Every structure is written in C-alpha cells, then in structure tokens.
C-alpha cells in the first residue's frame, strides 16, 4: 500500500538540572541528546549536522522555554536547523528528504524536536509521488530513532515520543486504516521485538490516530503515534499548535518517567520492608525465666545500631516515592493546562484522544503510588516500635545489672571493712613469739587475726547482702 509525504517526528527529553549537578561546566558535546541527533542524521542521510557547535546550552533563561540555537545561526526568526539530503530507493532512484532539528531548554530539561520527511512538493513545486509504506524503513535505519535508555550511559534521559504522520492516498484507504497503521509500524520497526503493541486508537483533529505502547510493559515502554491525515484540517491544526504539542509530549514524558522510577523505588522499599521484618523476627528471644544472657544483651545492642540505619534508608525511600507522586501531579496539571491552550487555538475540536492521558492514566499512577505509601508507611511504625521495645529491654536489663554490681560492691566493701577492723584489733599482739602447734598452746595472734578477719568479712558481708535483699523487696 502507498502513502503520501510520510514524516517521522522525534520528541525527546533529557534532564539538564538536578541535585548535585553543576551545569556550568557541561559542554554541548557532552550531552547525549545532541549526540543522538548526529547519529540519526548520519545514519539516514550520511551527513554531519554539527548541532553541538551551533547551539548555546548556557543561554540565560527568559522563560521556561529557551531556544538554544545561537543567534548567529538564526535566520528569519527561525530557531531550527534545516536538514536536507537524499536517500536511495531500490538502489536506483534518489529522492529528496527534508527536515529540521529544534534544540530547546524546557524547565529543568533539554528538549529535541527532530523531523525527517518526504516533502509534499519537489523543489520545482510539483507534488511528490506517493511512496510505498516500506519507504518509512529508510528513515529509521538500524532503529536509530529509538534513543539510548541505558541508565549507565544516559542517566538523565527522560524518554521520547515518536510520531509518524502520512497522508492517505484516497477514499479507498478508509477501509484499511488499521492495516495501514500496522504496516507503517512494521516498516519503522522491522524487528518484532522492538515493535510496541497497540494501546488504543481514535481521532485527532478529524483524522485517525493510533497509539502504541502499554503501561503494563513499563520497563520496556516506548511511546509511538501513527497519525494518518485524511484532509488538510489535521495538518493545518498540527502546524497551528505544534509548540503546545511539544510541551504536551514533554509533560507526558515527565509523568511516565516519574511513574517508571516509582516502580523501581517500590521494589527497593519492598526489599527494605522485608529486611525490617527479618530483623524483627531475628531478635533474641528471652528465656522462660525472662532473663537476658550476656550474649543476648550484646545482640540487642547491635540491633539498636542497625535498626536506626535501616529506618533512615527506609524513610528516604518513602520520601522518594512521595516526590514521584508530587512530580506526576505537577506535570499532569501542566499537561491539562496545555490542552486548554490547544482548545483555545483550535475551536470546536474534540481533544478526547489527548485528554485520556490526564483523565485516566495519570490519576491511576497517582492512586497506585498513594496505595503503596499507605501500605509501606506501616513499616516505619513497625521499626519505631521495635526500636522502642529493644531500647526498653536493654535499659531495664542494664539497670538491673548495674544494681546487682552495686550491691556486690557494697557487700564486699562492708565485709572487707569489717574484717580489716577486727584484724586491726587482734594484731596488737602480733609481736608475740610463735609457739609449737599444740592443743596445750594458744594459737598465735597472727592466726587469730586471720581467722577473725575472715569470719568478720563473711558475717558482715552476709548482713550487707540481707540488707540489700530487703531493700529490693
């Protein structure tokens, strides 16, 4: 089947500002987004765009949206880099491909709108010929329009939307809209494993549009739109509000990215919650007589060191989850605001296809995170109770041991003091000579002194022990 004037639009976004990120030392060549543009243009047209040399990423912001093209590169108030080249069809015919790259800074992110298309008219003003749907594969060789999402290589990447537009060639195509859209998808993504599944279909500005990518496959989520123009209305309206649509895709990407990150945080919290339960289950058990051994007391003290650290990590994860929820709410509000602006530009047009995201998907994301927070907040209470219980056991046991040690010192002190006094009295006769040991001879004063010292120590120690026992009762 054939289509007319096919386009591929890439809307891609990357954070440029975040916590502990020094943006002043960053150069344009270091930004993965601009490197991706070079890769795409080189792969399709075998050209070098040199976009990094043509933009100023440190332009002072005058508004949330900043065009990054250098003033010297701007012509006729056009802040895009025009692209033109040729590609080979069937290894014979060379056809003209045009497009543009628009680099932006949007709020806390870099934005890119890249377009490659078969123009509607040739350079001589004549309409271009219809092309086979398979022509779209020439615009996405080696799937170059799917940007690198590996966190290790591009940890600031937020996401992308790929919009494929084409004109229907006649009334006969109305009977095969789904088939045309499916063939377009297959042409852009020849590899079935890279092809996102159909999510829904509808109409936008009076022309059929198909959306691909399921949130149930969030780790591998890719957002693709195929929009088939049946008349000038859709094309004209698209040109009227293209900047608002760019913002719309940006806020949508921020919402989806926040929800993706929240699922990773959810897994970390679930793991931490299990660690909490394991730590509590592994607490030393008291014996039947409710006495805590020295080994158990040591284990309890170690737990008092471990659990607060676990609580701190757990609290931070909960805070991160709340931050994602807030980010989704803010960007959903911005998304809805842009829809209102589009409604003001294009009167009497139904935007239900675009409203579904803000009315259904984004609220679902927020409810899911709220449910997660409601469940996992119990972990904080569980930790606090465990720490309080362990601290109480340790303090009671330590107090009892301190009191026992104090009693022992008192007993020994009283006994030794009494023994010393008695010994001092007896030793007044220590200068007497030793007599042979016999029942007829009295014991030497040293022996007597030693005997009465030991006896007095034991007796008065026993009295001190009895007194301390009475005090405890």
Other CB atoms closer than 10 Å to residue 272's CB: what's the count?
Answer: 20
How many whole angstroms separate alpha carbon 148 and alpha carbon 141?
15
Report whether 145 contacts 137 (CB < 8 A). Answer: no
pLDDT at 456: 61
H or E element: which one contains 15? strand 2-15
pLDDT at 288: 46
- Count Cβ atoms within 10 A of the Cβ of residue 18 and give its class: 0-12 exposed, 13-18 middle, 19 or more buried: exposed
Angle of CA points 71, 72, 78, to nearest 5°: 65
How many whole angstroms separate alpha carbon 360 and alpha carbon 200?
13
Max CA distance (Å), the chain: 148
The DSSP line for 190-205 is -SGGG-PPEEEEEEET
Report whether 328 contacts 290 (CB < 8 A). Answer: no
Within 8 A by CB and 6+ apart from 276, the residues are 310, 314, 379, 382, 383, 386
Coil, strand or helix at 325? helix
How many whole angstroms separate alpha carbon 468 and alpha carbon 404?
10
Rounded to whole angstroms, what are the CA distances from 243 to 42, 208, 248, 395?
26, 21, 9, 66
Other CB atoms closer than 10 Å to residue 67's CB: what's the count?
Answer: 17
How many whole angstroms separate alpha carbon 40 and alpha carbon 224?
17
What are the backbone dihedrals phi and psi of residue 121, each rounded to the nearest 5 degrees, phi first? -130, 150
Token pair belonging to 129: 């010929």
Residue given tokens 């471990």 in the structure block: 306
pLDDT at 471: 52
C-alpha dihedral (24, 29, 33, 36), degrees to nearest 10: 180
Coil, strand or helix at 213? coil
Token pair belonging to 32: 């993965």
Token pair belonging to 331: 């960007």
- Tell how far CA 23 is from the center of its chain: 21
Coil, strand or helix at 123? coil
Return the axis-axis angle of helices 242-281 and 232-240, rounded to nearest 10°.
70
pLDDT at 359: 95
Angle of CA points 116, 119, 122, to nearest 5°: 140
Q: Give residue-wise pLDDT tens across range 161-180.
A: 999 999 999 888 889 999 99
pLDDT at 20: 45
Q: What is the pLDDT along the chain (473 residues), one digit of tens a residue?
A: 899 999 999 999 999 865 444 555 456 667 889 999 999 999 999 999 999 999 998 887 778 899 999 988 888 888 899 999 999 887 778 899 999 999 999 989 999 999 999 999 988 889 999 999 999 999 999 999 999 766 656 678 999 999 999 999 988 888 999 999 999 999 999 999 999 999 999 999 999 999 999 999 998 899 999 999 999 999 999 999 999 999 999 999 999 999 999 999 999 999 988 887 777 776 666 554 556 666 666 666 667 667 777 778 888 999 999 999 999 999 999 999 999 999 999 877 789 999 999 999 999 999 999 999 998 887 776 776 666 666 656 554 555 555 554 555 555 555 555 555 555 555 555 555 555 555 556 665 656 666 666 666 666 556 655 665 555 55
- Count Cβ atoms within 10 A of the Cβ of residue 431 and give its class: 0-12 exposed, 13-18 middle, 19 or more buried: exposed
In sequence order, the β-bridge partners of residue 226 are 164, 210
How many whole angstroms separate alpha carbon 332 and alpha carbon 208?
25
How many whole angstroms separate alpha carbon 445 and alpha carbon 454?
14
Residue 319's nearest CA partner among 257, 367, 373, 259 is 373
Within 8 A by CB and 6+ apart from 120, the residues are 4, 5, 127, 128, 167
Other CB atoms closer than 10 Å to residue 236's CB: what's the count?
Answer: 12
Q: Give residue-wise pLDDT tens across range 405-457.
A: 455 555 555 555 555 555 555 555 555 555 555 555 666 565 666 666 666 66
Report whether 81 contacts 49 (CB < 8 A). Answer: yes
How many whole angstroms separate alpha carbon 8 and alpha carbon 118?
9
Q: Are strands 157-167 and 223-229 parallel, antiparallel or unpaired?
A: parallel
């Amino acid at each position: 089947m054939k289509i007319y004037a096919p386009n591929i639009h890439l809307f891609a976004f990357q954070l440029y500002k975040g916590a502990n990120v020094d943006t002043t030392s960053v150069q344009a060549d270091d930004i993965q987004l601009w490197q991706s543009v070079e890769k795409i243009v080189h792969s399709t047209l075998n050209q070098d765009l040199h976009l990094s040399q043509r933009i100023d990423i440190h332009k002072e912001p005058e508004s949330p949206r900043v065009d990054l093209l250098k003033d010297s590169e701007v012509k006729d108030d056009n802040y895009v880099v025009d692209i033109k080249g040729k590609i080979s069809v069937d290894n014979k015919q060379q056809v003209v491909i045009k497009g543009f790259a628009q680099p932006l800074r949007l709020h806390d992110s870099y934005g890119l709108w890249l377009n490659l298309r078969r123009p509607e008219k040739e350079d001589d003003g004549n309409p271009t010929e219809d092309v086979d749907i398979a022509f779209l594969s020439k615009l996405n060789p080696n799937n170059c329009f799917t940007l690198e999402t590996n966190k290790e290589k591009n940890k600031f990447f937020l996401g992308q939307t790929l919009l494929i537009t084409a004109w229907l060639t006649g009334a006969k195509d109305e009977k095969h809209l789904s088939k045309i859209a499916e063939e377009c998808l297959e042409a852009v993504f020849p590899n079935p494993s890279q092809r996102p599944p159909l999510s829904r279909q509808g109409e936008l500005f009076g022309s059929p549009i198909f959306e691909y990518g399921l949130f149930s496959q969030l780790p591998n989520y890719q957002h693709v739109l195929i929009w088939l123009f049946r008349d000038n209305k859709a094309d004209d309206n698209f040109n009227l509000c293209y900047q608002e649509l760019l913002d719309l895709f940006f806020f949508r990407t921020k919402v989806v990215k926040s929800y993706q990150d929240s699922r990773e945080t959810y897994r970390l919290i679930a793991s931490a919650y299990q660690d909490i339960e394991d730590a509590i289950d592994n607490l030393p058990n008291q014996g039947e007589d409710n006495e805590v051994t020295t080994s158990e007391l040591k284990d309890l003290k170690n737990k008092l060191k471990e659990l607060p650290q676990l609580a701190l990590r757990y609290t931070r994860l909960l805070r991160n989850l709340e931050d994602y929820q807030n980010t989704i709410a803010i960007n959903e509000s911005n998304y809805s605001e842009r829809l209102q602006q589009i409604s003001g530009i294009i009167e009497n047009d139904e935007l239900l296809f675009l409203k579904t995201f803000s009315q259904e998907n984004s609220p679902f994301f927020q409810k899911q995170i709220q449910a997660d927070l409601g469940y996992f907040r119990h972990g904080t209470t569980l930790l606090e109770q465990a720490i309080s219980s362990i601290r109480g056991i340790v303090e009671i046991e330590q107090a009892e041991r301190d009191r026992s040690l104090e009693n022992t010192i008192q007993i020994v002190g009283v006994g030794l003091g009494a023994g010393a006094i008695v010994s001092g009295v007896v030793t007044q006769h220590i200068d007497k000579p030793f007599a042979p040991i016999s029942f007829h001879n009295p014991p030497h004063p040293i022996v007597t002194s030693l005997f009465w010292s030991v006896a007095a120590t034991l007796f008065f120690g026993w009295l001190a022990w009895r007194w301390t026992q009475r005090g405890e009762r």
